[in-house]
Amino acid sequence: MAGVTGELTGLLPTNQSVITTAGLTKHYGSVHALTDLTVDVGPGVTGLVGANGAGKSTLIKILLGLLEPTSGSASVLGHDIEHASQEIRRLVGYMPEHDCLPPDVSASDFVVHMARMSGLGAAPARERAADVLRHVGLDEERYRPMGGYSTGMKQRAKLAQALVHDPHLVFLDEPTNGLDPAARTDMLRLVQRIGSDFGIAVLVTSHLLGELEQVSNHVIVLDGGRLLRSSATTDFLRRTGNLLVEVVGTETERDRLGEALAQRGLTCRPRGSMVAVDPPPPELAEAGAVHDVIRDVTAELGLGLMRLEPDHGHLEDVFLEGGAHV
Amino acid sequence: MSERSGVIHDLGYRRYDGPRDGTATIARTLYVTGLRHTYGLGRSGKSKILPFILLAMATLPAAIVVGVVVLTGLGSLPVTYADYTNQVQLVISLFAAAQAPVLFSRDLRHRSIVLYLARPLSSSVFAVTRWLSLTTSLLFFMWVPTFLLFAGALLAGLDKSDQLEGLLKAVVLQLLLAALVAGVTGLISSVSLRRGFAVVGSVVALIVVSGVVTSVQAITNAQDADGIGVAAGLLSPWSIFSGLADAWHAGVVTFTPPGSAWALAYVLVAVVLTALCVLGLVARFRKVGSR
Ligand SMILES: Nc1ncnc2c1ncn2[C@@H]1O[C@H](COP(=O)(O)OP(=O)(O)OP(=O)(O)O)[C@@H](O)[C@H]1O
Ligand SMILES: [Mg+2]
């Protein structure tokens, strides 16, 4: 095992990028799916977040060589996507966002076949398929035709085929799509294990920042095909660590609170019935200082404080904030 | 001891550091799997029924011929090898129409093509390999009765060199036919992803068009306008096959046999049409794979 680990770290030294893109652009006629994207993805789990149509799937397909970029360049595991795309596809796994399973085949047969299509011999293909299906939690059902699977089971089978050849990197395109909360949690835990225990670098997409920040070491946010932010999850949480304040009343009360807070040097904006307060300026950075200011202000205005809590990071914040910064 | 069993029952992830096949070996695996799937092998029991019934239908007359020749001591086979293939063309066409969707519709309809194309094989290698599987499958379908007849002829003590010549001509013509039919039915199946439409499309392209061409050839022959009939022969794989077999004296008689210049045109059209179909398949797989 030590030899394997050695080889792996030889291939993927922790300081080396797993994916790099430079000015990557993809236009479909007038639709700009990706615009001038320059990012670096390291080992571990990287979340790729964006609303519908942000360009997440387009990026993955370009990296796999399934789509040609309009301009720009990229490399995956040290191989250039234009010249060594076959070498890349030998080393990566891909779980597409949409259905891709033939209904009349069992997961077991299908995953064995997909292992062989990645170059594993008949015996290792069977062995690894059994192993991987167990890891994704498809034990009993794996001999049944996949047409009868629930969405959760299908997602697991799709994940199994992406892992069966022991790739160095997997692209997981919306693995939690269509899952109920419990299955979603299971899937996210599995994604995290792939990155840590299995030692496989992961690029996982979602339109929910909240679910990816639980499992990712790094988060990349795309908006309309442009890079909005790329940073370690810890930075991300600190930077999006806003406060949410809600007072009794209507929008009038909300706006009175917002204006009063702004006069005290806090950056605020309305969100629904609440006021979102940005991280405080340096003079209020001391622990608890902002909370005190907010309590004081509501009391002075005679408003009833209903809620004062840290913001758990919503995508729209990043967009608003990013829009303000860029 | 306990240490070892601990390793065996370890539920942790195991890496794979064994050998990995190159592209050629992967393509060969895909080729063999595809070939087997056209006969339902490695698939459900139900999917074996149709191909084997059709194979039996295509072979039964040959078995009867062999029985008759061996028992009665006829001096020659009542049908040449190439003509036998021509006579059972309906069954061969049905087999191609029914089984081409297995290789050319399923991956596209269920979108598993994306999983293939995210692996080492490129869309062109994938499409060509699929086409080779169907071509081989069709050849096998035609060769079972052909070689049964040949074995019967040898058993009945017929002249070996005569038989070999007829067999060789048939095999070459079957090769051309199988490649073309696999291309045409493959392309149709890759475009019309509903199995029913694909089968109907292929039946039209192979059986209906062939019937129309034969009628046209009969009429033009009766009207002394053979040229039109010969040209019409370019429109169907079966009239190309029978026309070439006639021109090559392989024991098939057509209404309007092509002269040597036309025979060359038949061969060229068959080759070019096959190539176009394969290119069309490559484009189709690439397009669907990128979605
Ligand atoms: N084949 C295509 N032709 C034209 N436009 C396309 C094509 N594929 C994608 N697009 C457009 O490119 C943009 C990015 O699409 P993409 O699928 O990459 O987004 P996404 O982030 O994966 O979205 P989702 O969350 O819905 O999966 C969208 O506006 C989409 O409509
Ligand atoms: Mg997508």
Question: In this predicted model, what pLDDT tens digit does every residue of A123-170 receive, in sequence order?
Answer: 999 999 999 999 999 988 999 999 999 999 999 999 999 999 999 999
Whether the CA torsion B155, B161, B164, B169 is positive or negative: it is negative
Residue nearest to atom 1 of ligand 1 (CA): B291
Instruction: Tell me the nearest-neighbour CA distance from A106 into chain B, angstroms.
Output: 10
Chain B interface mutation, best of A64, A88, A100, highest count of B Cβ atoms under 10 Å:
A100
Report in angstroms the alpha-carbon separations of A154 from A60, A145, A318, B110, B291.
20, 11, 32, 13, 20
Residue nearest to atom 27 of ligand 1 (CA): A52
- How far is the C-alpha of A224 from the C-alpha of A52, rounded, in Å? 9
Compare CB distances from B290 to A61, A86, A93 and report the shortest one's residue. A61
What DSSP designation does A282 have? G
- How far is the C-alpha of A5 from the C-alpha of B104, rounded, in Å? 41
Query: Among B12, B220, B43, B80, which Cα is nearest to A197's?
Result: B12
A298: burial class by Cβ within 10 Å (0-12, 13-18, 19+)? buried
Give me the residues near ligand 2 (ion), CB cutoff below 5 Å: A 56-57, 97
**Pairing of β A45-49 and β A201-206:** parallel
- B5, part of any domain: no
What angle in degrees, to the nearest 10, is found between the helix axes of B123-155 and B23-38?
Answer: 50
Parent domain of B169: 23-289
At A279-311, the pLDDT tens digits run: 777 777 776 788 888 888 989 998 888 878 777
Amino acid at B92: I
Portions of chain A given CATH number 3.40.50.300: 19-236
> How is B103-130 classified by DSSP, letter by letter?
HHTHHHHS-THHHHHTSSS-HHHHHHHH
Whether the CA torsion B272, B135, B140, B195 is positive or negative: it is negative
The whole-number pLDDT of residue A15 equals 54
What is the SS3 assignment for A150-213?
A: CHHHHHHHHHHHHHCCCCCEEEECCCCCCCCHHHHHHHHHHHHHHHHCCCCEEEEEECCHHHHH
- How far is the C-alpha of A158 from the C-alpha of A115, rounded, in Å? 12
At B197-216, the pLDDT tens digits run: 999 999 999 999 999 999 99
State the pLDDT confidence band at A245, using cuts at 50, 70 and 90. confident
- How far is the C-alpha of B258 from the C-alpha of B103, rounded, in Å? 34
At B38-66, the pLDDT tens digits run: 999 988 888 999 999 999 999 999 999 99
For the record, the structure tokens of B32 come out as 């063999």
User: What is the homologous superfamily of the domain A240-312 according to CATH?
Assistant: Reverse transcriptase/Diguanylate cyclase domain (3.30.70.270)
Compare CB distances from B120 to A86, A134, A197 and report the shortest one's residue. A86
Cβ contacts of A102 on chain B, cutoff 8 Å: 106-107, 110, 112
**Pairing of β A92-95 and β A169-172:** parallel
State the pLDDT confidence band at B5, using cuts at 50, 70 and 90. very low
Q: Is A55's C-beta closer than 6 angstroms to any atom of ligand 1?
A: yes
Of A171 and B290, the structure prediction assigns the larger pLDDT to: A171
> How is B242-281 classified by DSSP, letter by letter?
HHHHHHTTSS---SS---HHHHHHHHHHHHHHHHHHHHHH
Compare CB distances from B14 to A113, A131, A161 and report the shortest one's residue. A131
- How far is the C-alpha of A119 from the C-alpha of A166, rounded, in Å? 11
A186-194, long-range: CB < 8 A, 24+ apart = A186/A137, A187/A152, A187/A155, A187/A159, A188/A214, A188/A215, A189/A215, A190/A135, A190/A136, A190/A137, A190/A159, A191/A45, A191/A215, A192/A45, A193/B13, A194/A45, A194/A163, A194/A170
Contact A193, A160 (CB under 8 A): no
- How far is the C-alpha of A282 from the C-alpha of A203, rounded, in Å? 35
What H or E segment, with its residue span, contains residue A115? helix A107-117
- B275, part of any domain: yes
Contact A80, A20 (CB under 8 A): no
Portions of chain A given CATH number 3.30.70.270: 240-312
Amino acid at B126: F
Instruction: Tell me the nearest-neighbour CA distance from B16 into chain A, angstroms.
Output: 6
- B156, part of any domain: yes
In the predicted structure, residue B3 carries a pLDDT above the cut 60: no
Chain centre to alpha carbon of residue A296: 39
State the pLDDT confidence band at A2, using cuts at 50, 70 and 90. very low
Q: Which of A138-142, B81-85, B89-93 has the lowest mean pLDDT?
A: A138-142
- How far is the C-alpha of A264 from the C-alpha of B85, rounded, in Å? 93
- B172, part of any domain: yes
Report in angstroms the alpha-carbon separations of B221 from B162, B225, B229.
31, 6, 7
Residue nearest to atom 24 of ligand 1 (CA): A52
In the predicted structure, residue A254 carries a pLDDT above the cut 50: yes
Buried b / exposed e along A34-69 (16+ C-beta atoms within 10 A) = bbebebebbbbbbbbbbeeebbbbbbbbbbbbbbeb
Query: Among B88, B87, B91, B103, which Cα is nearest to B135's?
Result: B103
Mean pLDDT of chain A: 87
- How far is the C-alpha of B36 from the C-alpha of B46, rounded, in Å? 14
- B3, part of any domain: no
State the pLDDT confidence band at B194, using cuts at 50, 70 and 90. confident
CB contact under 8 A, B23 and A86: yes
Amino acid at B201: G
Chain B interface mutation, best of A57, A118, A161, highest count of B Cβ atoms under 10 Å:
A118
What angle in degrees, to the nearest 10, is found between the helix axes of B46-72 and B89-104?
Answer: 150
In the predicted structure, residue B291 carries a pLDDT above the cut 60: yes
- How far is the C-alpha of A138 from the C-alpha of A66, rounded, in Å? 29
Whether the CA torsion B277, B96, B128, B290 is positive or negative: it is positive
Contact A49, A74 (CB under 8 A): no
Number of domains within chain B: 1
Residue nearest to atom 11 of ligand 1 (CA): A33
- B9, part of any domain: no
Contact A108, A131 (CB under 8 A): no
Q: Phi first, then psi: what are they for A73, rounded to 5°? A: -140, 165
CB contact under 8 A, B120 and A64: no
DSSP E strand boundaries for chain A = 19-28, 31-37, 40-41, 45-49, 71-76, 79-80, 92-95, 169-172, 201-206, 218-223, 226-232, 243-247, 268-271, 274-277, 305-310
- B15, part of any domain: no
Whether the CA torsion B256, B260, B262, B264 is positive or negative: it is positive
In percent, how much of chain A has pLDDT > 90? 63
Instruction: Tell me the nearest-neighbour CA distance from B4 into chain A, angstroms.
Output: 14
In the predicted structure, residue B8 carries a pLDDT above the cut 60: no
- How far is the C-alpha of A134 from the C-alpha of A115, rounded, in Å? 15
- How far is the C-alpha of A120 from the C-alpha of A143, rounded, in Å? 21
What DSSP designation does A281 have? P
The whole-number pLDDT of residue A8 equals 42
Assigned CATH for A19-236:
3.40.50.300
CB contact under 8 A, B119 and A199: no
The whole-number pLDDT of residue A241 equals 62
Q: Please, which residues have CB within 8 angstroms of residue A3's CB and are 6 or more apart in sequence? A: B17
Q: Please, which residues have CB within 8 angstroms of residue B205's CB and are 6 or more apart in sequence? A: B184, B185, B188
Contact A73, A85 (CB under 8 A): no
Q: Which of A57-61, A164-168, B9-13, B262-266 has the lowest mean pLDDT?
A: B9-13
Contact B234, B269 (CB under 8 A): yes
